[in-house]
């Protein structure tokens, strides 16, 4: 499956879009804070919602706490956290999750998650996955932003990967793309593919006529438009 998609094809996609880092909540927060806990909070806020809503929720939480730290978040009243992160949606469940996360980081890591930056990818992944509310995708998003060897597959990348025949599942698509690229390119291509999914390879009515990979696309070939 997908044997005909190569690194240069991913590069063609990356070159066809403009990635504005301000509009991607996790890179935005990591680049401006260099703090793993804040990056993790931003990533949890972005689960099942848009980056714009997640960023609005993050800024409101920042206003509430002054600085987003495990100590501050664990001590903040649940109702205040719920109200602050309302723009992200599912604010009651998410607020409880965030407070559990903060308590676990305080309890088990003395409030300092930045040490995972110096760990191997696998060790850092195990630490992240051991925290409440952190699944494989959230862990991969944090890891790739830290410059580690991970390739998260969001809903856009899953759709593009399936349409192009790269794979069907998260792990197939993630693994195959990682095998095509040097690790230093993972974050750039990850963001470019998301942008491409937002603008061109949209869920409904993809703009195939503007797509640089149209001639290689299994979805396009089967759509009868060729």
Among the residue ranges 123-131, 140-148, 156-164, 174-182, the one whose residues contact ligand SF4 (CB under 6 A)? 156-164
Q: Are 51 and 23 in contact (CB under 8 A)?
A: yes
Minimum distance, C-beta of residue 17 to ligand SF4, in the bound complex (Å)? 12
Minimum distance, C-beta of residue 159 to ligand SF4, in the bound complex (Å)? 8
Q: What share of the chain is helix, strand, coil (3-state, %, to 5)?
A: 70, 0, 30
106 Cβ neighbours under 8 A, 6+ residues apart: 70, 71, 74
Helix (H, G, I), strand (E, B) or coil at 28: helix
Q: Are 156 and 148 in contact (CB under 8 A)?
A: no
The residue among 41 and 211 lying less far from ligand SF4, judged by its C-beta, is 211
> Which one of residues 70, 152, 167, 206 is an interface residue with ligand SF4 (CB under 6 A)?
206
Which letter, b or e, does each residue of 140-169 get, where b requires 16 or more Cβ atoms within 10 Å of its Cβ?
bbbbbbbebbbbbbbebbbbbbbbbbbbee
The residue among 198 and 214 lying less far from ligand SF4, judged by its C-beta, is 214
Dihedral angle, C-alpha 85, 87, 92, 98, nearest 10 °:
-40
> Which one of residues 73, 116, 146, 200 is an interface residue with ligand SF4 (CB under 6 A)?
200
The yes or no reply on residue 164 touching ligand SF4 (CB under 6 A) is yes
Q: Are 81 and 95 in contact (CB under 8 A)?
A: yes
> Which one of residues 33, 137, 220, 226 is an interface residue with ligand SF4 (CB under 6 A)?
220
Q: Give the x/- contact pattern for ligand SF4 in 116-155, rule: CB under 6 A.
A: ----------------------------------------
Among the residue ranges 35-43, 50-58, 66-74, 207-215, the one whose residues contact ligand SF4 (CB under 6 A)? 207-215
Query: Footprint of ligand SF4 on this chain (CB under 6 A)?
Result: 160, 163-164, 200-201, 206-208, 211, 213-214, 217, 219-220
């Amino acid at each position: 499956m997908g044997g005909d998609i190569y690194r240069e094809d991913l590069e063609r996609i990356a070159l066809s879009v403009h990635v504005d880092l301000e509009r991607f909540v996790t890179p935005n927060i990591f680049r401006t804070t260099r703090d793993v806990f804040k990056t993790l909070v931003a990533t949890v806020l972005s689960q099942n919602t848009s980056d714009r809503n997640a960023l609005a929720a993050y800024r409101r939480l920042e206003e509430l706490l002054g600085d987003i730290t495990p100590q501050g978040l664990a001590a903040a009243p649940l109702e205040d956290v719920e109200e602050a992160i309302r723009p992200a949606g599912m604010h009651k469940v998410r607020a409880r999750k965030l407070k559990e996360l903060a308590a676990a980081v305080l309890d088990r890591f003395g409030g300092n998650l930045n040490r995972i930056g110096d760990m191997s990818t696998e060790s850092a992944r195990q630490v992240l996955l051991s925290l409440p509310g952190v699944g494989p995708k959230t862990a991969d998003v944090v890891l790739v932003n830290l410059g580690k060897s991970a390739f998260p597959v969001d809903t856009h990348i899953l759709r593009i990967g399936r349409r192009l025949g790269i794979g069907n599942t998260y792990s197939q698509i993630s693994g195959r793309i990682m095998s095509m690229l040097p690790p230093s390119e993972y974050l750039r291509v990850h963001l470019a593919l998301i942008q491409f999914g937002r603008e061109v390879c949209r869920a409904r009515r993809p703009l195939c006529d503007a797509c640089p990979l149209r001639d290689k696309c299994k979805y396009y070939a089967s759509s009868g438009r060729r």
